[in-house]
Structure 1
Amino acid sequence: MTAPFVLVLYYSRHGATTEMARHIARGVERAGLEARLRTVPAVSADCEATRPEIPEEGALYATLDDLKHCAALALGSPTRFGNMAAPLKYFLDGTSSLWLTGELVGKPAGVFTSTASLHGGQESTLLSMLLPLLHHGMLVLGLPYSENALLETKGGGTPYGASHHAGTDGKRALDEHEIALCRALGERLAETAKRLEIRRG
Structure 2
Amino acid sequence: MYGHIEKLAKNVEEGVNSVEGVEAKLWQACVYVPETLPTADLDELRAPPKSNVPIIQPNDLSEADGFIFGFPTRFGMMPAQFKAFLDSTENLRKRQELAGKPAGIITSTSSQGGGQEITVLTGITPLVHHGMIFVPFGIGFTYSYEFRDMQEVRGGTPYGAATYARGDGPIFLESMHAKEHGYYFAHVTKQLKEASE
- What CA distance in whole angstroms lies between the structure 1 residues aligned with 2:158 and 2:50? 35
The one-character-per-residue Cα deviations of 1:121-172 (angstroms, maximum 9, x if unpaired) are 11111112111011111111112222225544641011111111123xxx25
1:142 to 131, 136, 143: 136
2:4 to 16, 22, 31: 16
1:185: Cα distance to partner?
A: 1.6
1:81 to 75, 79, 82: 75
Query: Using a 3 Å threshold, how does the CA distance of structure 1 residues 61 and 14 change in structure 2: closer, same or farther?
Result: same
Query: Using a 3 Å threshold, how does the CA distance of structure 1 residues 79 and 58 change in structure 2: closer, same or farther?
Result: same
**Structure 1: tracts of 5 or more residues without a match:** 1-12, 47-54
Aligned to 1:27: 15
Q: Give TM-score scaled by structure 1 length.
A: 0.81
- What CA distance in whole angstroms lies between the structure 2 residues aligned with 1:69 and 1:152? 40
Aligned to 2:158: 159
The one-character-per-residue Cα deviations of 1:53-96 (angstroms, maximum 9, x if unpaired) are xx974211111233101111001111111111111110000111
- What CA distance in whole angstroms lies between the structure 1 residues aligned with 2:35 and 2:168? 30
Aligned to 1:50: none
Aligned to 1:197: 193
Aligned to 1:49: none
Q: Name the larger-Rg structure.
A: 2
Give SS of 2:170's match. coil
- What CA distance in whole angstroms lies between the structure 2 residues aligned with 1:139 and 1:117? 29
1:36 to 6, 25, 29: 25
Aligned to 1:94: 88
- What CA distance in whole angstroms lies between the structure 2 residues aligned with 1:197 and 1:45? 38
CA contact (8 A) 1:26 1:183 kept: yes
For the aligned residues, what is the CA RMSD? 2.1
Give SS of 1:92's match. helix
- What CA distance in whole angstroms lies between the structure 2 residues aligned with 1:133 and 1:191? 20
The percent identity for this pair of structures is 34
- What CA distance in whole angstroms lies between the structure 2 residues aligned with 1:198 and 1:117? 40
Higher RCO (CA 8 Å, separation ≥ 6 residues): 2
Aligned to 2:123: 129
Give SS of 1:75's match. strand
Which shifted more, 61-70 or 25-34? 61-70
1:200: Cα distance to partner?
A: 1.4
CA contact (8 A) 1:152 1:177 kept: no
**Structure 2: tracts of 5 or more residues without a match:** 37-48
The count of aligned residue pairs is: 178
Larger strand percent: 1
Larger helix percent: 2
Please tell me the residue identity of whatever aligns with 1:186.
G
- What CA distance in whole angstroms lies between the structure 1 residues aligned with 2:185 and 2:61? 15
Query: Using a 3 Å threshold, how does the CA distance of structure 1 residues 136 and 120 change in structure 2: closer, same or farther?
Result: same
- What CA distance in whole angstroms lies between the structure 1 residues aligned with 2:51 and 2:140? 37
The one-character-per-residue Cα deviations of 1:5-40 (angstroms, maximum 9, x if unpaired) are xxxxxxxx2100110110011011011311111112
